[in-house]
Amino acid sequence: MSQSTAPQDSPDPQDRDPRDPQNHRTVLLRGGDVHSPADPFATAMVVEHGQVAWVGSEGAADAFADGVDEVVHLEGALVTPAFTDAHVHTTATGLALTGLDLTGARSLADALVLVREHAAARPHDTVLLGHGWDAARWPGGRPPARAELDEATGGRPLYLSRIDVHSAVVTTALLDLVPGITERTGFHPDAPLTADAHHGVRAAALAAITPRQRTEAQRAALGHAASLGIGSVHECAGPDISDEDDFTGLLRLAAEEAGPRVVGYWAEADVRRARELGAAGAAGDLFVDGALGSHTACLHEPYADAPHTGRAYLDTAAVAAHVVACTEAGLQAGFHAIGDAAVTSVVEGLRAAAEKVGLARVRAARHRVEHAEMLTPETIAAFAELGLTASVQPAFDALWGGEDGMYAQRLGAERARTLNPYAALLRAGVPLAFGSDSPVTPLDPWGTVRAAAFHRTPGHRVSVRAAFTAHTRGGWRAVGRDDAGVLVPGAPADYAVWRTADLVVQAPDDRVARWSTDPRSGTPGLPDLSPGAELPVCLSTVVAGTPVFVRPDE
């Protein structure tokens, strides 16, 4: 990919948007493949004033070549809309990128070695932070004991969140920083902490992070997202997850520096406060329940490997009250709901709210449900009826699905096969917005699309095209923008350029994939995402016409 720039006078600084200093330039991209429903055979695109101005053929591009400020020669590269990750914890993602990452630990012994090395490498840190352990995948299935962590750290404060971020193991020194910790719900003397106990130790650990460390972590996370072709992230924050300074600092950073757009959600019942903080909704991880891996997702029937049904943090009445408040305030409501009982509470609460403020108003608000893993035909139909957006994470199935995965361990194979039914949601007309829940699973947009298209349960698979749409346009629709996430004239110029192999049209049925590679089908192609195929490499990412990532020459 190469580019040439026409001579021009320096623009008046007053004409520049501080976030998008180049969005007044006119740029022609040509000589590649442009993924656009406006023209399935497009090879060129013009960007002007931060928007897509034209999409078309190489021959027609000649008419623009002399009148633009810059020509980008794609040299066969693919141009697509930038991805939107609809569920991210930005600071935690940055801390995982720059700190102790236990997702690669294959055993308890491996994890303890990594903890010991990390502690030795950071002798001056007030609190040691780490993330990503998953005892369900280790031989023996046992998490680190507190005494083992005390020994590995030399008695220093340490917080290690489980991969699902709904429980944690800590050292004695960190417990000592939280008054009354032993009296909190979810405290266990020598087992992972959940619920209020977990929230308490997490708050204590995060309080030790300086503002500079926090900003560096946020900048690292957004930079990493841009390098993967992600142009927007939905920050799912809240008082049980981070704090107000973290949230407002991130929104300020995104406004002041070129990078991915950040749409902020603040998960608190105080709708007024969410609006004051600049949130798009009192939504995100407003917990109705916990997570399957930590045995805190709320179920109708007991876990297969535990004699209880998890935890319920909000009931139907609380859901209804929140939806009414958000609808009347003109904000999105949203809930974290994973277990089938939690999803039922959300549906029943939305219906109660609709009886009070009217179904049309509830539908128009485009309220969200995060994760929504354990669904039934009845709750899927209710999502469609109530206009709910399902903000889901296909990488969960890739990581925990299958006959021998964590889902099957927690629920039994039969119930596990019902999880994450993306095809049924689409058939019912439920809008999907794909995300990662990073750092629970990594930022990995093409891997996410692959996970949905090659779901471990074949009946839940969707086409690559549908999955790609859910990870691009779906995130924009989830925030009420139907004009974005697609490369057509008038849309925001948020796009990514990719080095990839030949383009195809893949569907869950291999017979369709074979014949639909024929270009005469008139469907824009996408990279081959078959398991084992090499994923595309991001060459550049552009937001509102401004480059936010350019891969160094290799």
- CATH architecture for residues 2-82+487-500+536-550: Roll (2.30)
- Dihedral (CA of 407, 412, 417, 422) sign: negative
Determine the pLDDT at residue 166: 82
- Poorest-confidence range of 131-135, 163-167, 402-406? 163-167
Fold of the domain built from segment(s) 90-207: Diaminopimelate Epimerase; Chain A, domain 1 (3.10.310)
- The listed range with the strongest mean pLDDT (120-134, 161-175, 384-398, 522-536) is 384-398
More confident residue, 207 or 15: 207
In what side-by-side order are the strands of the sheet with 432-434? 83-88, 230-237, 261-266, 281-282, 332-337, 368-371, 389-392, 432-434
Determine the pLDDT at residue 523: 78
Determine the pLDDT at residue 511: 39
Task: List pLDDT tens digits, range 371-382.
Answer: 999 999 999 999
Determine the pLDDT at residue 9: 36
CA 372 to chain centre: 14
Determine the pLDDT at residue 467: 97
More confident residue, 513 or 547: 547
CA 514 to chain centre: 31
pLDDT range class, residue 495, cuts 50, 70, 90? very high
Determine the pLDDT at residue 124: 86
Task: List pLDDT tens digits, range 84-136.
Answer: 999 999 999 998 888 898 988 999 999 999 999 999 998 988 889 988 899 98
Determine the pLDDT at residue 517: 45
Determine the pLDDT at residue 165: 82
- Pairwise CA distance, residues 161 & 171, whole Å: 12
Mean pLDDT of the chain: 91
Report the percent of the chain where pLDDT is more than 90: 81
Residue 12 has pLDDT above 70, yes or no: no
CA–CA–CA angle 6, 10, 16 (5° rounding): 110
Could you tell me the residue ranges of all domains in the chain? 2-82+487-500+536-550, 90-207
Residue 512 has pLDDT above 90, yes or no: no
Q: State the amino acid at position 278 in one-letter form.
A: G
Determine the pLDDT at residue 513: 39
Residue 249 has pLDDT above 50, yes or no: yes
